[in-house]
Structure 1
Amino acid sequence: MAKEIATTPYTDQRPGTSGLRKKVPVFQQRHYVENFVQSIFDCLEDYQGQTLVVGGDGRYYNREAIQTILKIAAANGFGRAVVGRGGILSTPAVSALIRSIKAFGGIVLSASHNPGGPDGDFGIKYNVANGGPAPEKVTDAIYARTREIASFKIEEAPDVDIDALGAAQIGAMRVEIVDSVENYAALMQTLFDFDRIRDAFRAGFTIKFDAMSAVTGPYASAILEGMLGAAPGSVMHGEPLPDFGGHHPDPNLVHAAHLYDLAMSAKAPDLCAASDGDGDRNLIIGRNRFVTPSDSLAILAANAHLAPGYKNGVAGIARSMPTSAAADRVAEKLGIGIYETPTGWKFFGNLLDAGLVTICGEESAGTGSNHVREKDGLWAVLLWLDVLAARKQSVDAIVREHWATYGRNYYSRHDYEEVEADGANALIKTLRDGLPSLKGKTFGALEVRDADDFAYHDPVDGSDSRNQGVRVMFADGSRIVYRLSGTGTAGATLRVYIERYEADPARQFVETQAALADLVALSREIAGIERFTKRNAPSVIT
């Protein structure tokens, strides 16, 4: 039986670039989840009788939130809910499932690469019918609704057994518990040459994939070891755990340093890879060769035609503004479009739906294609495997050949995590206020060609997004970008991106931080980073 329960608004439920993210105890507040979920449904139209997909990355509070969401969905008139067994669905798997069963939308429970556990992070994100994150006009409406909500509807019903495949009922809504991996694995088989990859494993190709005790474990185990024949034990930390086993499930060189060390050792497999908490990010390291996310995007775009699902080539490439321009050079050589968007996968959705692009990527280890409307960590690993099997070269050889053809974009991101928000905001404001005076300035051998606050005009729907990051661009093609991240839950995270292009093959093998040393120092000087953040060094360098 459905009830309407009075509630009072919370003032802190503004969705960020990837939904609403807070610490678990915040979500555990009375009616906090109910308010936000009801606000989502209040901003939707014509969903009565429709299908809603629900799933998450298995982090702490995932199961409790799913039960609440199902009961609210039933009370609000959804006719069917499809849930991954155990509440497990990776973010790309949610997108794939929405698209394949033509669901009205989906709710993803995840805080992506952020830590889990009782004192860790949690998140709720709404995805629309194309499988992608809700656009800003929808998230803005949801936030506005959260500030005025007075009641929510909820079905009084027992919890559903989400560990048993099959169907149940909540009020008039049918609840279907489905295999978390099956739909996604079937999609991957349409994109890649599984026989070719299987032959490579039979011939001795080796891989270590770290699922980081997060959502990708069941997918990687089923596909890499089960379907493709990688050696048993190729998948590490394959069981999703509510606290990710105490790991920080971010596949970067800090939190996956053990993979880097393995790849640089005498016992290195041919490929080391990892994914993050909700399965949408990736890490690629070949024997003695780390591949930056920006380079990975460019290399995959240049070689995608080798995979059956992309045999007709790439229509276009999209990258987030902070991502290096390596992909731009591939697009130019292929004679296809290149699109520079704000950070946030939702900005790629219109381009993908319009057929303007096939492959998209972000420097924060997110790469994907038009097969779903989310970035997809395991997809990126499978495409690398298919390219490696087709070319019969090592990761290092492919990277070197790519740089010789297109040039190398030296690139690094320096993160200042959990700094005081007031200081970080003051830093960005000071940078913005000083933009007019920066143009034409010289700093040693570097001359500022232009400086702006990036704004994006969507070529499909005509919408505009402003204040997306401060860019300082130099006459030699180098650049520094500053922006505040929208994915953290405490304080503020300042991200600083430093890039330099090198066309000369003889100068393409300098250590990255050494190649960027003058720009790194200048990035701190121009923004007054130490003064505003009280930090004399970044928390993480990638």
Structure 2
Amino acid sequence: MGVLFGTDGVRGVANRELTPELAFRLGRAGAYVLAEKTGKKTVLVGRDTRASGDMLEAALVAGITSAGLNVCLLGVLPTPAVAFLTRARGAAGGIVISASHNPAEDNGIKFFGPDGYKLPDALEEEIENLVLGSMERIPSPTGAGVGRAYSCAEAVEEYLEHVRRIGPPTLKGMKIAVDCAHGAAYALAPTLLEGLGAKVIPLGVEPDGHNINDGCGSTKPHRLSLLVKETGADLGLAFDGDADRLIGVDGRGEVADGDVVIWGCARYLKAHRRLKEDTVVVTVMSNLGLKRALQAENIRVLETRVGDRYVLEAMLKSGACLGGEQSGHIIFLDHNTTGDGLITAMMLLRLLVETGQRLEDLNRSLVRYPQLLENVRVRDKGRVMQSPELLAAIEAEKARLGEEGRVLVRPSGTEPVIRVMVEALDPEKARSVLDSLVDVIRGIEEGGELAAAAQGSWS
């Protein structure tokens, strides 16, 4: 992982870490690298609803056009739509300005290659080296050689038509509550579902530039849950800020997370002989109950680190067409090159319509182990994770659970926290194990703070 690029592009607080100056350099360097690799001269740019998107888009476009490439402006559009359209339109690449499910003050810049996949590490490194070093070798054309920017609003329908074909022929008679997180799908999702005949009850469809993901969306489905129960909706669908994730809510108001969607779609695809290699890729965060249930259906389960890039890598290597995360970031490789909330919604609705199931039936059919998760804020993730005391505690708690559960302790890739997850058939034992590990981490952190304070007093 580089200095600028993390696991999902370049992110930071807009106008602080992610400045217009940095966006300009990223646009200029990215355009040069993409044009050099592909020989093509057009880049697609889309964004979510954050107020800072206007500022960053202007700077990014200036950088791209200064390198002599043209920009197709898609406007507010889901991240997966940019990935799809980049490939469908034969562009040199695509760029998304979004921080996904993060707060409104954050933003990010993510690149897609001409094939619609996120750029490989080597290309990100090449762009990063240019941005952080000298960009003298990047041409600065004048006159007719300067790139142009133009609107590509008509491309939205191209993406929507692709998504429509994946879903059921009709949703007539269904009442669906939809939470768009005041984000990129705020117009597309209701339009898509209403066009198929569903009665849509909207939530999170009034973006003001500052309310994206604020108490709503796939990471906070409680309001959608209440809305489903209050309105008698058949189900609810919750997207995140850039609509690459989907979380469901069944008719009882109970959350149906990514594990439930993967469970249903895996069996549906296998029944239709469309589950390639009879394999599903999940991450270490997926519930142990999902893994055992899939294996009982003779479906091979491959497990990766947390992060959609690792899921995708395993899918491409194994030939699997379905993979995803408990968070609702699910990849259907037969339909798109990245996680796509609208495609996931269409696949879920198709299986419900064709099988006659309700989402609550699907939700109940997956027997999950009780799972507890706690985030512990620390100053130095590396020091805590390498502590012999923590490593010994983890091994002791794993032995304590045996075959009846599991422990996962990992540093966050984006925040200064250690994530502790425990699953066990016995909820009380799970709580005891979790509390024990959290206490160990806090003890290590307090010891580090005391040591730092003592060193400061002697310096």
Please say whether Structure 1 and Structure 2 have the same fold, judged by a TM-score greater than 0.5. yes
| Structure 2 Cα separation of the partners of residues 412 and 43 of structure 1 | 44
- The correspondence of residues 16-415 of structure 1 with structure 2, limited to 5 A, is 16-26=6-16, 29=19, 31-41=21-31, 43-44=33-34, 45-78=36-69, 80-84=70-74, 87-116=75-104, 120-150=105-135, 171-173=146-148, 175-179=150-154, 181-195=156-170, 198=171, 201-202=172-173, 205-225=174-194, 227-232=195-200, 234-244=201-211, 247-248=214-215, 250-252=217-219, 255-263=220-228, 265=229, 267-288=231-252, 289-304=254-269, 312-315=274-277, 316-353=279-316, 356-370=319-333, 371-403=335-367, 408-415=368-375
Q: Gaps (5+ residues) in structure 1? A: 1-11, 158-168, 449-473, 508-512, 535-542
In the alignment, structure 1 residue 478 sits paired with structure 2 residue 405 = yes
| Structure 2 Cα separation of the partners of residues 170 and 326 of structure 1 | 58
* Counterpart residue identity of residue 241, structure 1: D
Q: What secondary structure, in the 3-state scheme, does the structure 2 residue paired with 1:328 have? A: helix
Structure 1 residues 480 and 231: alpha-carbon distance in aligned structure 2, compared to 1, 3 A threshold: same
Q: Deviations over 1:427-459 (max 9, x none)?
A: 22216x864x56863x5xx626xxxxxxxxxxx
* Off by >6 Å, runs of 4+ in structure 1: 152-157
How far the C-alpha of 1:290 sits from its partner, in A, is: 2.0
How far the C-alpha of 1:334 sits from its partner, in A, is: 4.6
Q: Deviations over 1:378-422 (max 9, x none)?
A: 22222222222122232222222343xxxx333343234xx3533
Structure 1 residues 35 and 71: alpha-carbon distance in aligned structure 2, compared to 1, 3 A threshold: closer
| Structure 2 Cα separation of the partners of residues 409 and 258 of structure 1 | 25
Structure 1 residues 223 and 515: alpha-carbon distance in aligned structure 2, compared to 1, 3 A threshold: farther
| Structure 1 Cα separation of the partners of residues 436 and 120 of structure 2 | 36
Structure 1 residues 358 and 390: alpha-carbon distance in aligned structure 2, compared to 1, 3 A threshold: same
Q: Deviations over 1:204-244 (max 9, x none)?
A: x321111121111111121012x112225x22222443112
Structure 1 residues 148 and 238: alpha-carbon distance in aligned structure 2, compared to 1, 3 A threshold: same
- The correspondence of residues 509-520 of structure 1 with structure 2, limited to 5 A, is 516-520=430-434
The answer to whether the 8 A contact 1:35-1:146 is kept is yes
Q: What secondary structure, in the 3-state scheme, does the structure 1 residue paired with 2:182 have? A: coil
The one of 494, 505, 510 equivalent to 2:418 is 494
* Counterpart residue identity of residue 231, structure 1: K
Moved more, 369-378 or 392-401: 392-401
The answer to whether the 8 A contact 1:337-1:356 is kept is no
| Structure 2 Cα separation of the partners of residues 67 and 440 of structure 1 | 51
The answer to whether the 8 A contact 1:410-1:515 is kept is no
Normalised to the residue count of structure 2, the TM-score between the two structures is 0.84
1:529 alignment counterpart: 442
Structure 1 residues 413 and 129: alpha-carbon distance in aligned structure 2, compared to 1, 3 A threshold: farther
Instruction: Give the % identical residues.
Output: 20
* Counterpart residue identity of residue 368, structure 1: I
The answer to whether the 8 A contact 2:372-2:434 is kept is no
| Structure 2 Cα separation of the partners of residues 409 and 141 of structure 1 | 44
Structure 1 residues 356 and 13: alpha-carbon distance in aligned structure 2, compared to 1, 3 A threshold: same
The answer to whether the 8 A contact 2:331-2:340 is kept is yes
How far the C-alpha of 1:68 sits from its partner, in A, is: 2.6
| Structure 2 Cα separation of the partners of residues 389 and 143 of structure 1 | 47
| Structure 2 Cα separation of the partners of residues 283 and 246 of structure 1 | 14
Structure 1 residues 498 and 388: alpha-carbon distance in aligned structure 2, compared to 1, 3 A threshold: same
The answer to whether the 8 A contact 1:367-1:375 is kept is yes
The answer to whether the 8 A contact 1:300-1:383 is kept is yes
| Structure 2 Cα separation of the partners of residues 268 and 317 of structure 1 | 33
Structure 1 residues 357 and 124: alpha-carbon distance in aligned structure 2, compared to 1, 3 A threshold: same
Matched length: 441
| Structure 2 Cα separation of the partners of residues 170 and 212 of structure 1 | 41
| Structure 1 Cα separation of the partners of residues 370 and 127 of structure 2 | 40
Moved more, 266-275 or 40-49: 40-49
* Counterpart residue identity of residue 339, structure 2: K
Structure 1 residues 430 and 25: alpha-carbon distance in aligned structure 2, compared to 1, 3 A threshold: same
The answer to whether the 8 A contact 1:21-1:487 is kept is no
CA-atom RMSD in angstroms: 3.2
Greater per-residue helix proportion: 2
| Structure 1 Cα separation of the partners of residues 107 and 28 of structure 2 | 18
* Counterpart residue identity of residue 321, structure 1: V
The answer to whether the 8 A contact 2:260-2:362 is kept is no
Q: Gaps (5+ residues) in structure 2? A: 448-459
The one of 15, 27, 37 equivalent to 2:5 is 15
Normalised to the residue count of structure 1, the TM-score between the two structures is 0.72
Structure 1 residues 35 and 395: alpha-carbon distance in aligned structure 2, compared to 1, 3 A threshold: same
| Structure 1 Cα separation of the partners of residues 120 and 300 of structure 2 | 22
Greater per-residue strand proportion: 1
Structure 1 residues 353 and 214: alpha-carbon distance in aligned structure 2, compared to 1, 3 A threshold: same
How far the C-alpha of 1:317 sits from its partner, in A, is: 1.1
The answer to whether the 8 A contact 1:485-1:493 is kept is yes
The answer to whether the 8 A contact 1:57-1:90 is kept is yes
| Structure 1 Cα separation of the partners of residues 405 and 100 of structure 2 | 31
